[in-house]
Amino acid sequence: MIDSLVQHTLNSEIEFSGVGLHTGYKCTMKVFPAEDNHGYKFERRDLDGKPIIDATTNNVSSTLRSTSLSKDGVEVHTTEHILAALYAMGIDNALISLDAPEIPIMDGSALEFITEIKRVGSKELTAKRKVYKFRKNISFVDKEKEIEMIIVPNKNNEFKVTVMVDYKSPVLGTQHASIDGLENFEKELASCRTFVFMKEVAHLADKGLIKGGEVDNAVVLADRPYSEEELAEIGKNIGRDDINILPNKTGVVSTSELRFNNEPARHKLLDILGDIALTGRYLIGHILAARPGHYSNVEFAKLMSDTIKQTEDLPDLRTDRAPILDINAISNLLPHRYPFLLVDSILDMDENSITGIKNVTMNEPYFQGHFPANPVMPGVLQVEAMAQVGGVFALSTVDDPEYWSTYFMKIDDVRFKQKVLPGDTIVFHLELASPIRRGLVHMNGKGYVRGKLVSQAVLLAQIVKDRAPE
């Protein structure tokens, strides 16, 4: 399901009831199936008009110990755990309906959410899944807090996250956690609970937080032993007669031990997944995070969202990768020869598209007359080079391509955006406009120099078997 090419939603509604970690409000949350391209949306059904808040980075209103969303004054708090569960289970579209302002904290992890999602299962929709492959590094750095997050390209077209946390605490120490692929979420991360240091409890309470916090929905850590009297005073400060924590103990002072030795680091990784779900995309790349928190997660997600918005519709224009077809392989497919072979290499090709390059040098014979004192590559030759890249694609679909040729039938919507000069490298990207039928190949082509569009055309050609073995 996670590897599916199409979007998914739940088979049926699921429901959860519990208390909000920070607000202390009781909440019944219902998660409903949703249609194609709905994404994640939160509904406050307890308010007039049942207002909707889209789960996007633009709607983040607070990252203080959790991720809150708001729109038009309506808020939803602690969204990260349910979003992480839906995201990791390959649920692209869901309506999350609440009768209170905060998601139930459950046991402090995403385990109960995962259990219910698995129980009802998911179903395929028809729209293409939204996936983004990072082709360059994107990073967020906060030098003051010693936070660094970066996503780097993954050559295996996979998603991976590696986290390091260091609270300079003798209890927690330095911890690492990683996940290779979302399919490991249930086993490796789902059960990992939120955590808090005992020394933070009173301070967080003063900020109006952790009103619903209990030792059964969070891991409480102590850097030093706390006496019964100290615990009673902390309980009094946060409005609790009994905080149910074992006295005179360091380390984990909750009523249950850690589920993993590095459970805090694993929970930080879980939070990252919930926060990057706000990008609305499944990501291909390797995220490395040092000392992350909700603030850095969201700022990092915003940077990734900006990159996605700016480049999502662009093909991979990198020219520093090894070609899949060199000039010799191209010559085995195309009948063109010097001086009319205008493709130097093919960088990428799949069932629907192809990317190839033309290196423009001063040695091109047409520069002798176009123009000697101001050399400019003729637009008609740009179109020809584009068509030859399309010809490689077309001939790669037939057996014995040496006996076939491609012939132009029509050229539409030809446009030239800027000059192409000696020293430029044109990256041509062509995509099928419709499936190949009866030998007709209909493609949308664009040429780029240094990431900028220089030419475009809609090409129609026919593959013809016009030669026979001798």
Told to judge if 22 belongs to the known catalytic residues of this protein, a careful annotator would answer no
388 and 420, same structural domain? yes
Please check whether residues 144 and 231 belong to one and the same domain. Answer: no
| CATH number of the domain bearing residue 432 | 3.10.129.10
Give domain status of residue 322, yes or no: no
CB 379 within 8 A of CB 422: no
Q: Is 359 inside a domain boundary? A: yes
Query: For residue 115, is it within any domain?
Result: yes
| 116 domain-assigned | yes
> CATH number of the domain that 169 lies in?
3.30.230.20
428: in domain: yes
- Asked if 214 and 143 sit in the same domain, the reply is no
Are 77 and 220 in the same domain? Answer: no
Tokens of 224: 């030093």
Instruction: Evaluate if residue 18 carries a pLDDT over 90.
Output: yes
* Mean pLDDT computed over 38-60: 98
8 Å CB contact between 136 and 48 = no
Among 367, 172, 339, CA closest to 250:
172
In this predicted model, which residue has the larger pLDDT, 22 or 378? 378
Q: What is the residue range of 456's domain?
A: 327-465
Q: Which two tokens stand for residue 216?
A: 């059964």
Average pLDDT, the chain: 91
431-456 confidence digits (pLDDT tens): 999 999 999 999 999 999 998 999 99
Residues 115 and 144 in one domain: yes
Please report whether residue 1 resides in a domain.
Answer: no
Predicted confidence band of residue 219 (pLDDT cuts 50, 70, 90): confident
Residue 180 binned pLDDT confidence (cut-offs 50, 70, 90)? very high
How many domains in the chain?
3
For the segment 65-91, the average pLDDT, to the nearest whole number, is 97
- With tokens 């055309």, the residue in question is 457
| One domain for residues 172 and 199 | no
Pair (334, 426) in one structural domain: yes
Query: pLDDT band at residue 289, thresholds of 50, 70 and 90?
Result: very high
Rounded to the nearest 10 degrees, how much is the dihedral formed by the CA atoms of 256, 258, 263, 268? 20
| 470 in a structural domain | no
CA distance 315 to 420: 19
How much is the pLDDT for 197?
80
Q: What is the band of 247 on the pLDDT scale with cuts at 50, 70, 90? A: low
The percent of residues in the chain predicted with pLDDT above 70, rounded, is: 93
Give the HSE-up count for residue 148: Cα atoms under 13 Å, Cβ half-sphere: 8
Q: Is there a single domain that holds both residue 147 and residue 212?
A: no
CA separation, residue 412 to residues 456, 459, 461 (Å): 9, 7, 12
Measured N-to-C along each axis, helices 111-120 and 80-88 cross at an angle, to the nearest 10 degrees, of 40
370 is catalytic: yes
Residue 258 lies in a domain: no
SS3 state of residue 319: coil
Catalytically annotated residue among 294, 336, 429, 442: 294
